[in-house]
C-alpha cells in the first residue's frame, strides 16, 4: 500500500518520513499524551528515532497498512498520529494528539476520514479500545461511527497495570451482526455487555 494522502477540511493525513521525527517527539515525550497509549514516553530524539525505525518505517514496506501522521492542512505541521492496525484480527484504530490540540475535534475529524478510507478499500470492520478512565477517547470512536460493544479487564503491557478496556466496533461491510469477540474470550475478567444491544 502506498499510504495515499487523506485531506479533510482542516487536516492532511499522510505517511511519516524521517524528517517528521521531531514533530512526533513532541507527542511521544508528553506523559499525559502517552498515559493511555501502550508505549512509554520517549525520553529524547534518539529514542524517538528508534521508535520510528522499529515501529513506523516497517509499516510502509507492508501492504494494507494505515499508519499516518496528522498534519494541519494549512501549515503541514505534525500535531498527531492515527492508524488502523492490520496485522492482527481486530483492525484496531489508534491515535495520539499533541496536548495543545485536545478538545478541538481534530482526532474525531481524522478518525472519520481514516475509517472512510478503510471502508472504501474494503476493510470489513474496524475496532478500537479505550481505557475506561479515558472517556474522551470513546467520544472520538463514537464520532467515527464506532459503537460500544463490551468491556473487559486486562493486565496491560508493557506498563503492567490493570485496565478496564471498552471495545467499540464499526462494521464497514454491512454485516451488523458481527462482534469481535476475541478479547471477551481471551480475558476472563468480563465486565459488561453493550447496554444498547
Per-residue pLDDT of the chain (197 residues; tens, 9 = 90+): 568 999 999 999 999 999 999 999 999 999 999 999 988 999 999 999 999 999 999 999 888 889 999 999 999 999 999 999 998 899 999 999 999 999 999 999 999 999 999 999 999 999 999 999 999 999 999 999 999 999 999 988 889 999 999 999 999 999 989 999 898 888 866 666 554 44
Gap between the Cα atoms of 43 and 64, Å rounded: 31
DSSP 21-42: HHHHHHHHT-HHHHTTSSSPPP
13 contacts 4 by C-beta, under 8 angstroms: no
107 contacts 97 by C-beta, under 8 angstroms: yes
Place of cell 496528522: 70
Kind of pairing, strands 161-171 and 93-97? unpaired
**Which grid cell is 172?**
464497514
Place of cell 502517552: 34
pLDDT at 197: 40
pLDDT at 2: 66
Q: What domains, with CATH codes, occur in the chain? A: 6-193 (3.40.630.30)
Which residues have CB under 8 Å from 78's CB, separation 6+?
16, 20, 23, 24, 26, 27, 69, 70, 71
Q: Of all residues in the chain, what percent are helix, strand and coil, respectively (each to 5)?
A: 30, 30, 40
**Which grid cell is 48?**
524517538
pLDDT at 190: 60
79 contacts 106 by C-beta, under 8 angstroms: yes
SS3 for 143-166, per residue?
A: HCCCEEEEEEEEEECCCCEEEEEE
**Which grid cell is 161?**
497495570
Amino acid at each position: 500500500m502506498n499510504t495515499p494522502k487523506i485531506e479533510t477540511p482542516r487536516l492532511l493525513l499522510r505517511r511519516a518520513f524521517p524528517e517528521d521525527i521531531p514533530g512526533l517527539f513532541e507527542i511521544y515525550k508528553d506523559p499525559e499524551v502517552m498515559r493511555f497509549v501502550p508505549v512509554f514516553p520517549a525520553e529524547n530524539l534518539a529514542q524517538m528515532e528508534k521508535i520510528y525505525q522499529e515501529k513506523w518505517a516497517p509499516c510502509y514496506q507492508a501492504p494494507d497498512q494505515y499508519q499516518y501522521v496528522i498534519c494541519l492542512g494549512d501549515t503541514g505541521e505534525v500535531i498527531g498520529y492515527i492508524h488502523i492496525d492490520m496485522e492482527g484480527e481486530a483492525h484496531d484504530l489508534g491515535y495520539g494528539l499533541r496536548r495543545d490540540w485536545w478538545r478541538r475535534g481534530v482526532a474525531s475529524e481524522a478518525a472519520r476520514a481514516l475509517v472512510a478510507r478503510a471502508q472504501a478499500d474494503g476493510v470489513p470492520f474496524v475496532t478500537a479500545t479505550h481505557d475506561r478512565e479515558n472517556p474522551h477517547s470513546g467520544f472520538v470512536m463514537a464520532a467515527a461511527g464506532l459503537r460500544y460493544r463490551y468491556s473487559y479487564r486486562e493486565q496491560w503491557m508493557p506498563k503492567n497495570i490493570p485496565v478496564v478496556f471498552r471495545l467499540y466496533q464499526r462494521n464497514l461491510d454491512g454485516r451488523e451482526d458481527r462482534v469481535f469477540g476475541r478479547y471477551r474470550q481471551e480475558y476472563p475478567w468480563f465486565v459488561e455487555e453493550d447496554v444498547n444491544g
